[in-house]
Structure 1
Amino acid sequence: KRQIHLVFEILMETSVSKTIKSYTTSTSGDGSRIKPVATPRTVVITRTAHGGGGNSTGSVVREVEMRRSTGALSSVNGHTAGVHNGVSNIMENREKEKKDMRDLNERFANYIEKVRFLEAQNKKLANELATLRDRWGKETERIKQMYDVEMTQLRKLLDDAMKSKAELEVKVNSLEETVDELQKQLDAANQLHNSDREMIDRLNSQVSDQESELSVLRRRISSFESDHSRDKAEVQRLRDEIRRLRMDLDQETLNHINSEQEAHSLRDEIEFLKKVHDSELKELAALAYRDTTQENREFWRSEMSQCLRDIQNEYDNKLDVMQSEMETHYNLKIQESRTNNTRGGAELQHTKEENIRIKQQLSELRDRIPELEARNAQLERLLEELRRDNEEKLRDWELERSSLRKTLSDNQAELESVLVELQTLLDAKLSLELEIAAYRKLLEGEESRAGLRNLVEETMKRSSDYETTRVIETRKTNAMPPSNMGIIKGEMSAKTTYQRTAKGNISIQECAPDGKFLTIENTGKKREDISGMRITRNVDNGRQIIRFTFPDKTFLEPEGRAKSIKVWARGLKPPGSSDMECNENTWGNGANIHTVLISSDGEEKATHTQRTVYQSN
């Protein structure tokens, strides 16, 4: 420790003593002569500065003595020159002295300012030293007396805490064994439930197979009935067609008969006309023979023969045309009628055979219907019995599960309270140990001020190092309430809640709080295709939005390592891992994070919500 005592008291008094040179004139002999009388010149400067805060005094005295002597001049001119030289020298010396005085005054003023600053610093340190001397023994004694009582109480509390700790450890071990037993019972109940569910699924599949077979038979019967009705309609249509064809045949037969009668009458008419024409020809021939002129007879005979041949040819042609047309028409009608009758008969025969076959199948199916109905009724009774048994087992299982869950929740609550109490006791124990060590070092370093300061600094450092973060996390999903995470550090507390939802067998299993990865899991018993699905993560209401789309041919298996898949942030995927990696450096972290899994059709399949609320205690 260095103690500075600088006390100056300077009296600012200046005395200037000057010896002034004088000149005397004396007259002797032949004339008057001027003789300068130069006496020594002495300048004395005494400066005394008064200062506060001390008893010591200091003085600075500067004495300047100048001596000059000159001889007597023999003449007036020489005396005048000497006077001028002396005056100029005196003026130069005065200017030089003034300049030196100014420099000395400035240096002395700076020195005075420095002295005043050091004086104030000295006064402050003297006060601190006096205060520390006053507090040196009293503070240590008071601390010792105060902490002796507290250390006795703390030792007692520490012993009680150790006893409570031992009791709680025993209780925690027993509770852990109880929890293990309950977990085994719960696993056994889950196995029974799974076996019952598998049996129910198997029976449901059998019932569904029987129902599908019955529905197939019913559909076949309905199809046969519809075919039968369609065949009946077709038979009726064919009968109507046959009836119509018969009517057409009768009409054509009647027309044929009428045509034959008409042809017969036309033949008779033709024969009659032939006879008439022959008689007319004979009459004309007789008239021609009665003609007296041979040329006229020949002329009329040739003309009449030509006319008769023309008429005969014309009638023959018309008759042949009419006969051929009638024969062709009636032949076509008869052929068409025969063809229609043949086709209608074949179709009618085919329809009859098909109708007979359908009737046989229908009778066979009708014979099988009572048997299938009896089997269906038996299966329905069996299904109803299985359903009742399953409902009873489910009720029993639910009751047992609820009781086990209640017991488990009670045990977990008790275990958490015990852990909290144990953590509190451990914290108290650690703080007591730190305080005991601090007090011990405080007592050991009582006589050393430097040791006391180091002890205080070390104690403060340990106290700051002891400030820890305690995290308690509980996760529950589906019907259970969201999990809570309490973070306690200093005077701030934070509450973080997680909530998950899922539509189907795919869920967002885990989101790393530091934004390193996400985990997608298949919770079902079938293989799930997640190709084209995308993840959207919204951090703090749009402050940061991260998107990721699964590539094609990405599947999640119902069990094994491929049951879940992790999507890491860029550069964080472990080497050799088969997980995926997004294009972002982080998945983001904040106070309000909402993660959504969306299918390729735009449907929301799963969500994961994380909210953190900070509070001041």
Structure 2
Amino acid sequence: MLNGRIRELEHQLDNDRERHSQEVAMLERELIRLRDEMTQQLQEYQDLMDIKVSLDLEIAAYDKLLMGEEHRLNITPSNTATVQSFSQSLRSSTRATPSRRTPSGALKRKRTFVDESEDRSVSDYYVSASAKGNIEIKEIDPEGKFVKIFNKGNEEVAIGGWQLQRIVNESGPSNTYKFHRSVKIDANAYVTVWSVDSKASHEPPTNIVMKQQKWITGDNTKTILLNIDGETVANLDRIKRIVSTHVSSSRQSRRRSISAVDGNEQLYHQQGDPLQSAEKCAIM
């Protein structure tokens, strides 16, 4: 009787062991499936983070350029509400991005990239002008055909002996035109000084064609109007602005740099490593 009870309990124990082994195997398979799914999701998240960091760098660069243009043009906040709202929404979406945490005891997963690099650049020109009196430099031709000055006052101004000077790249080449002693500019009127090869008609004082020279051109030019005493009364700057992006990828990292250059001066530069800007992905 006792031996029969022992055999029954041993049989029951064997059944429990077998059932437990099956449950453990099933749980291990489920754990493997969850690990694979987590690995895939983390890889997708890492890809999105790489894109996000790259876009953040570009947004920061263009935002810097936009602020510079708003300051230069003296644009009021009411005129830029749409732009500011868009910029704020971008910043908000950046701040709202959840951070990744690495669980304790987690295994770090390395990502690999093929060796590659990419360079992109966008260039544009911006113009800034100022004047101390009523005579201002109103317009210049990018191809060097003419320089146009304007009298915004209500009285005629004698500009005989005044000089128009063009300088390329600060200390680069320059040329100068000196107005005839009899030249005057009427109130609310223009005087245009044309290059010799412009094919314009010489009709002083409103249209003056230089005899033996033409306006020099370049990426960065400064046009200055000097009075008879050699004092600067007006100027107009035309400066080339370049926004360049460089992306380089090695087998274990990806770096991106963005810079903005005004003329010969670097206005803005930022670089980042998307893989170092965010925490490393990990799986349990």
TM-score range, shorter chain: 0.3 to 0.5
TM-score when normalising by structure 1: 0.21
TM-score when normalising by structure 2: 0.43
Larger Rg: 1
